[in-house]
């Protein structure tokens, strides 16, 4: 019998936005501000000044740092003028260092319970989240991470009307279900629970039996007191492709998944799968660790 999730309220009281201050990061900022408003949170806006970058025509390292600091100060001064930000409790923090180390330390120091970040940067001086940093944060963070890839379009985030939760039945994905259920309950949205069986050489009858067993596991994970019963889906194929296909078919507004490694039959987040989902999804992805 599968472990049943706990239905509980979640609180994002301290949200950290990790930004590289590029034009592409504006969409990430919109989502962070929207979340902070919905949960009446304090918003920490974090920017890392990389110490390992090169700038053409600038040789001394101190000049590179000063140039980065000057650019950051200018962009942050513009950001501070936003009316929607002025109405929020917020704090801007700029630190020098390797991005994932800076962000991990800030998240710990400020007791953050949600990190919001993008997966793309631009140019040598402002490059920050080109896949590896975002994925490192997702694996290291002890709080959920809301990630916006390059294909996420700006949307009004008053509510999540359609949420897709994916699971490999691991501890990570079980904890992620708590968040998926809570968000669906809060917003009155539709929730789909998906498990993907990776393509294997078995008979059709065995595959039918596997799918039936997995559908039963998914059903047993839903709390008895859940107001809305999720839709159950078991698919066969590549986890990344099936997650993205179903998300597109259902016009999903949020994908929720665990951030660790799972079982032998279906592992949703090992390396390439994580990268493909984050980079190709047309909606935000909320990843949750097991801790």
For the domain bounded by 162-288, which CATH number is listed?
3.40.50.620
What CA–CA distance (Å, rounded) separates 200 from 236?
A: 9
pLDDT digits (tens, 9 = 90+) for 163-173: 999 998 888 88
Parallel, antiparallel or unpaired: strands 145-148 and 285-288: antiparallel
What CA–CA distance (Å, rounded) separates 212 from 246?
A: 19
113: phi then psi, degrees, rounded to nearest 5? -115, 10
Q: 3-class SS at 1? A: coil
Residues in the chain with pLDDT < 50? 55, 121-130, 261-270
Q: What is the pLDDT of residue 54?
A: 53
- Residues of the chain within CATH 3.40.50.620 domain(s) are 14-148, 162-288
pLDDT digits (tens, 9 = 90+) for 262-278: 433 333 444 577 778 88
DSSP single-letter state for residue 289: -
Q: 3-class SS at 35? A: helix
Tell the CATH topology of 14-148. Answer: Rossmann fold (3.40.50)
Q: 3-class SS at 95? A: strand
Instruction: Let me know: does 115 contact 137? Beta carbons within 8 Å.
Output: yes
What CA–CA distance (Å, rounded) separates 146 from 18?
A: 10
Residue 50's closest CA among 33, 67, 75? 67
């Amino acid at each position: 019998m599968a472990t049943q999730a706990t239905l509980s309220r979640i609180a994002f009281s301290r949200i950290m936005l990790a930004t590289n201050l590029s034009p592409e990061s504006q969409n990430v900022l919109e989502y962070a501000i929207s979340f902070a408003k919905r949960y009446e949170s304090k918003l920490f806006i974090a920017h890392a000044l990389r110490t390992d970058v090169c700038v053409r025509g600038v040789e001394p390292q101190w000049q590179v740092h000063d140039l980065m600091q000057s650019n950051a100060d200018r962009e942050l001064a513009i950001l501070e003028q936003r009316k929607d930000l002025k109405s929020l409790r917020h704090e801007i923090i700029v630190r020098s260092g390797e991005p994932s180390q800076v962000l991990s330390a800030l998240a710990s120091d400020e007791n953050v319970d949600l990190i919001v970040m993008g997966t793309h940067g631009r140019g040598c001086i402002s490059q920050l989240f080109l896949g590896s940093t975002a994925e490192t944060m997702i694996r290291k963070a002890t709080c959920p991470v809301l990630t916006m890839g390059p294909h996420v379009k700006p949307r009004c985030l008053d509510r999540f009307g359609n949420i897709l939760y994916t699971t490999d039945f691991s501890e990570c994905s079980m904890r992620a279900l708590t968040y998926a259920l809570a968000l669906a309950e809060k917003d009155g949205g539709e929730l789909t629970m998906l498990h993907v069986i990776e393509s294997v050489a078995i008979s059709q009858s065995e595959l039918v039996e596997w799918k039936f067993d997995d559908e039963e596991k998914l059903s047993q994970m839903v709390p008895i007191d859940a107001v809305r019963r999720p839709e159950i889906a078991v698919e066969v194929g590549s986890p990344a492709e099936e997650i993205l296909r179903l998300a597109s078919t259902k016009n999903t507004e949020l994908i929720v998944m665990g951030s660790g490694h799972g079982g032998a039959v279906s592992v949703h987040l090992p390396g390439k799968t994580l990268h493909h989902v984050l980079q190709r999804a047309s909606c935000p992805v909320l990843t949750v660790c097991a801790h």
